[in-house]
Structure 1
Amino acid sequence: MLCSQTALWRDPALPHVESRRACHSRACYKAHSHPTFSIGAVDAGHSHFSGAAHGQERLTPGTLVLVPAHRVHACNPEPGQPWSYQMLHVDAEWLNQLRQESGLGGAGPCEPARICREAAVYVQFCELNSLLFSSASNSEKDAALITFLGDLDFAAHAPLAAAPALGATALSGLIAHLESQDPAQLSLEVLAREAGLGRYQLIRTFRTATGFTPHAYLLNARVNRGRQLLGEGQALAKVAYQLGFADQSHFQRVFKAHVGVTPGQYRGR
């Protein structure tokens, strides 16, 4: 018999977001609301959700629900059946500020929840949540959260204008600034202010110009530098420290995701 398990993630350094994972749960909830913008994802089993625009919806694995703050809703498994799910809560005022930076208004009162059944979005949500539960730096987690919310949520409220173009000089200056930073200390807020953009606007603009978000660009540059240092025979722990990773395990995870082998395998020892 499978046991029910619940894992919670929160960090005082990122007070605007928290997450929960529940596996093989049979818990049922009365109709309720949250003061946060909430995203739920069904991982396994089937459930019934109330709070969307068209009444009760049956949710299958891979489905997301986006619930505005204060929207009354309920989501429960089919009678007698377990289900597994993830739940992300984002501070409503923090999200409204992020929207306003991109020229959008805040969420209106009593908006219905939205259902998303796109497989690619579910995968992106799972990647975000895995990152939140990992040892990645807080700046990397925050950047991933902003990117996901902007890509998923903002376009649903109003068509986004094309990302502002960065001139060659501005882009070169931004890249030089990025490459001088410690990944753990990189501040999207500072970068955006220097570029005269909102945080999500900066991500869109930089991604259009380079194919990377700022954090992804910096991680890629650090991995390339890591390949050089490992090729010189330096120890894994020393390389991870020099490159500003939180710990050796984080370096190994990022390196393998970029290169396809672990740092130790790459070094040949």
Structure 2
Amino acid sequence: MPMTDRRHWNDPALPFVEARRACHSRACYKAHSHPTFSIGAVDSGVSHFSGAGPGSKRLTAGTLVLVPAQRVHACNPEPGGAWSYQMLHLDAEWLLRLRHERGIAVQGAGTAALVTRDAALYRQFCQLTALLFSEASVLEKEIALVDFIGDHDERAFAALPMAPAEDAAALNLEEGLQGLADERLAHLSLEDLARWAGLGRYALIRACRRATGMTPHAWLLNARINRARVLLRQGGDLAEVAYRLGFADQSHFQRVFKVHAGTTPGAYRAGR
């Protein structure tokens, strides 16, 4: 059954897309990345978007930001403030195939995030997310999604500041992590990571910061949370997911998940 609570939507019949929305949220996120291409829209309030580059970008209502897969970023309300927003996460391989059908290049992993205040595009995005959260048929939803993505070439949007080009060793490491078993991912050491990347420990730390803006520990924690998202979408038991991914206990897992995903693991999984 599709997930249909007020905050999250995903449907096993459309495994390449997931939607999220938040109203008057004060939740703050740590810097993180997704294996998905993400589109966010600010509905009200003010948010500050930061990536692995210098400074931040102030986003106001009606702004859309497009974040390529693996681009480290954070988007948080102004201090003391609240904001409302919508998010769409698209499987990177699915998006790449769709763009190839249209003859349009897609922003690759690690490239700059993009921003636009096109009012018509914002309205179309809101209509799309409303349809995804509705009781419309799977076919209607897929048609609307493909139509929306196919109508727009994001290369026309303004690029946000970003870090220097990603380091090849860290990119290779990222690909390797995606294929690891859950238990192995949970217990990697700095020495393991360095050996895998073919670097010394200090060189790995520098490479990881150049590539992601994060330390190896923060980057690995982010990878574990992304794996947890997959397991929770499959209906995984919270305690079992926490154990498999090496968290001290379910409470620890919940705290870490919330600062990365803006919601609790239970709420994320709810409605399956």
TM-score category (smaller protein): 0.5 to 0.7
Change (3 A) 1:106 1:63: closer
Instruction: Measure the CA separation in 1 of the matches of 2:42 and 2:154.
Output: 22
- Whether the 8 Å contact between 1:52 and 1:112 is mirrored in structure 2 is no
How far off is 1:50 after superposition? 1.1
1:130 aligns with: 130
SS of the residue 2:33 aligns to: coil
How far off is 1:115 after superposition? 0.4
- Whether the 8 Å contact between 2:69 and 2:108 is mirrored in structure 1 is no
1:87 aligns with: 87
User: Which amino acid in the other structure matches residue 79 of structure 1?
Assistant: P
How far off is 1:107 after superposition? 3.1
2:267 aligns with: none
How far off is 1:105 after superposition? 4.0
1:49 aligns with: 49
- Whether the 8 Å contact between 2:52 and 2:72 is mirrored in structure 1 is no
- Whether the 8 Å contact between 2:48 and 2:76 is mirrored in structure 1 is yes
Instruction: Measure the CA separation in 1 of the matches of 2:109 and 2:69.
Output: 8
Change (3 A) 1:52 1:134: farther
Instruction: Measure the CA separation in 1 of the matches of 2:64 and 2:81.
Output: 19
Please give the TM-score of this superposition, normalised by the length of structure 2. 0.53
Structure 1's consecutive aligned runs of 4 or more residues displaced over 4 angstroms after TM superposition are 52-55
Q: After alignment, is 5-14 or 120-129 more displaced? A: 5-14
- Whether the 8 Å contact between 2:18 and 2:90 is mirrored in structure 1 is yes
1:96 aligns with: 96
1:114 aligns with: 114
How far off is 1:111 after superposition? 1.1
1:254 aligns with: none
User: Which amino acid in the other structure matches residue 14 of structure 1?
Assistant: L
Whichever of the two has the greater Rg, that structure is 1
How far off is 1:61 after superposition? 0.5
Instruction: Measure the CA separation in 2 of the matches of 1:32 and 1:121.
Output: 26
User: How big is the alpha-carbon RMSD for the aligned residues of Structure 1 and Structure 2?
Assistant: 2.0
1:150 aligns with: 150
SS of the residue 1:22 aligns to: strand
Instruction: Measure the CA separation in 2 of the matches of 1:70 and 1:89.
Output: 12
Instruction: Measure the CA separation in 2 of the matches of 1:53 and 1:150.
Output: 29
Please give the TM-score of this superposition, normalised by the length of structure 1. 0.53
User: Which amino acid in the other structure matches residue 64 of structure 1?
Assistant: L
Counting only pairs closer than 5 Å after superposition, residues 1-269 of structure 1 correspond to structure 2 as 7-51=7-51, 55-153=55-153, 156=156
Pairs aligned (count): 153
How far off is 1:132 after superposition? 0.3
How far off is 1:153 after superposition? 3.3
- Whether the 8 Å contact between 1:53 and 1:114 is mirrored in structure 2 is no
Q: For CA contacts below 8 A with separation 6 or more, give which structure has more relative contact order.
A: 2
SS of the residue 1:112 aligns to: coil
- Whether the 8 Å contact between 2:104 and 2:153 is mirrored in structure 1 is no
- Whether the 8 Å contact between 2:13 and 2:138 is mirrored in structure 1 is yes
How far off is 1:106 after superposition? 4.4
Give the percent of matched residue pairs that are identical in Structure 1 and Structure 2. Answer: 67
